[in-house]
Amino acid sequence: MEQILKIQSEQGFSETAKPTEFNNSKLIDLIIPGNTGSYDLSKSYVNLNMGLVNAPSADQPASAVTTDTALYNNEIIYNGNLGGTNPSTIVPCSAIVRNADMFSANRGMVESIRRVNTLRQILWNLENDKAEQHDGLDKFGTFQGRRGVKNQTSSLVQIIGSNVNNAGNASTKKAHALSRDFRIPLSDLFGVGNAMWNSDVFGDTRIHLEIEPNLLSIDHLGGEESTTPFDATGVNKNFGQCVDYNGGGAGNLGAGVELGTATAPLILSIPYFDPQLDCPFYVGQAVKASATGATTGASGNIFSVIDSITFFGKTNGTNPPAGDQLCRVVLRDKVMTGGAGGEAVTLIILDALQSNNTLDQIIINRAEIVLSQMPGVDAPTGIDYRTYSTEETQGNGQESYNKQIVVEPNCQNLIIASVPSGKTAPQFAWTSYRLAINNVDVCGNRDVAYNKSLHEDRILRFMNNRGQNVSNMTLHQVSTQQIQEAGANQIDYYPILETMPLTQGEKLVNLELNSAGAEDIIFYKELVRSI
């Protein structure tokens, strides 16, 4: 029966820092203990437990209390093009790893892979379709969904979308902040990460990782509700827009009645079928609200915390079914008080309040390896696996970049990444390339143009040679910061993927790359090895 074994890193691994200011949390050493039986490495992974320390906004409500841990809706994202022109993209957690080594006490070095970050961005986007990229938790970043611009939900907040039941009874439940595990599968780091590992044969096995926490950033997922439209057909309302109290459906705000309280809640204008999916507000969130009254005039911005949300959904208790599909929001502080004789109140707006992004911090709590131990299972004493040797070069701004490299006899595939100088994202554009193996052009006398049919054919040949299907041929990385429509969320990446013949001796590979001026070029030589 499978057993789960957690082992802490050799280092005391804990640091809190602003993005780009981590100093200590860059090296991780993990030990798979020897003489402890068999492990299924395909089910094993490295955990980085991380969370956020959100700095209070200058407008943080005075009514906020220490138990309000989820005032702000923020997420950890990865920016492999940090300082570049492209926004952050959704990437696997393995993209935080720059270099990875695995060493067996009994058999020596097993694998040593440089520039894991770029390699895994390329392969992950080919191996996972958009749904898998959107929905999985083993990634950095979240995509902009049906709520529109900056209205995502963080994976670091336990959301309570409504705390009032159908009988109208409110609970004290509210959202709270989370620290969670960001999992890096061993199969994303090493070729043997897909195998059964016999610790009795290989002895103590050390995994050494160099990570780059300074490529992590913090994204504010809220604050533009009042200007972001709900895209459902015929609705034509913004998320932060509320129903007027002006003699219409809600009536005027009564004399002495406090807007935003249970007596006169803020009624969101959008009718929801599933507010837990679509509504960007949650209980325990810091917000700002404003309204304009006919008697008392403009209220200005009021800063408060959401204490309850009630959804008046359609029910079958009456005929016809009752309910208006609207959410009622009760704040901890009033927005305004109705004037004498009642008051018409319009332009009621609700927005999420954002933390102070200049002082927000990321906290790395610990690093550990989680092993799937298989008692009673005899793992093989030898393993055939796939690994990589890496060669990094500089394009030096050449528009026609030519490079010859020596490739090992046991290389079966070649991955070439075009990367902006000093970055990790494979996003530096090229227009076409030619590749020759031992002076034989792999495509005859033709250029391989980016994202054209011949390029697609080379990718399919590459994946078939690995025994894999292609799940995603778009050659786009999903942005975390752009509108998810009309291709606007797509950031092009530029892989070159070629098959290599297995030979008796070394192969000479010539690359001619045409671009506006090549920068960093990384060659990943996929090797077949045995241990």
Q: Can you give the three-state secondary structure of 120-177, one letter per residue?
A: HHHHHHHHCCHHHHHHCCCEECCCCCCCCCCCCCCCCEECCCCCECCCCCECCCCCEE
SS3 445: coil
Q: Smallest Cα–Cα separation from 160: which of 67, 61, 52?
A: 67
Q: Are residues 173 and 278 both part of a single domain? A: no
Flag whether 498 is in a domain.
yes
For residues 463 and 374, state if they share a domain: yes
Tokens at 475, concatenated: 């050659």
Q: What pLDDT score was predicted for residue 389? A: 97
Chain centroid to Cα 357, Å, comes to 18
Same domain assignment for residues 380 and 333:
no
Query: Is 273 exposed, middle or buried (CB count within 10 Å of its CB: 0-12, 13-18, 19+)?
Result: exposed
What pLDDT is stored for residue 80 in this prediction?
A: 86
**CA atoms in the 13 A half-sphere facing the CB of 205:** 24
Domain count across the chain: 2
Same domain, 319 and 372: no
| Residue 311 near residue 338 (C-beta atoms within 8 A) | no
How confident is the chain (531 residues) per 10-residue block, as mean pLDDT? 93 90 94 96 97 96 95 94 82 97 97 97 94 86 75 90 80 93 97 96 97 94 90 83 86 93 94 88 97 86 95 67 85 93 93 96 97 94 96 95 96 97 95 97 94 97 94 89 59 96 95 96 97 93
Q: How far apart are CA 310 and CA 313, in angstroms?
A: 9
Given 284, 319, 352, which residue is the final one in a domain? 352
pTM: 0.92
With a CB cutoff of 8 Å and minimum separation 6, the contacts of 13 are: 25, 28, 364, 366, 367
Is residue 279 located within the same domain as residue 209? no
- Which strand (E) or helix (H) includes residue 468? none
Question: Which pLDDT does position 320 carry in this prediction?
Answer: 61
Examine the domain organization and report whether 279 and 367 are in the same domain: no
Which residues constitute the domain of residue 155?
Answer: 3-221+362-530
Q: Verify that 250 and 203 share a domain, yes or no.
A: no
Which residues touch 398 (CB under 8 Å, ≥6 apart)?
A: 517, 518
Quick one: pLDDT at residue 205? 98
DSSP-based three-state secondary structure for 15: strand
Residue 318 confidence (pLDDT): 65
One domain for residues 366 and 244:
no
Is 186 domain-assigned?
Answer: yes
The answer to whether residues 449 and 431 touch, using CB atoms and an 8 Å cutoff, is yes
Same domain, 34 and 85: yes
CA distance linking residue 391 with residue 406, whole number of Å: 10
Residue 357 lies in a domain: no
Element (H, E) at 117: helix 116-127
Local structure of residue 456 (DSSP, 8 states):
H
**Cα dist from 479 to 70, 81, 133, 149, 489, whole Å:** 25, 12, 11, 12, 5
User: Are 505 and 373 in the same domain?
Assistant: yes
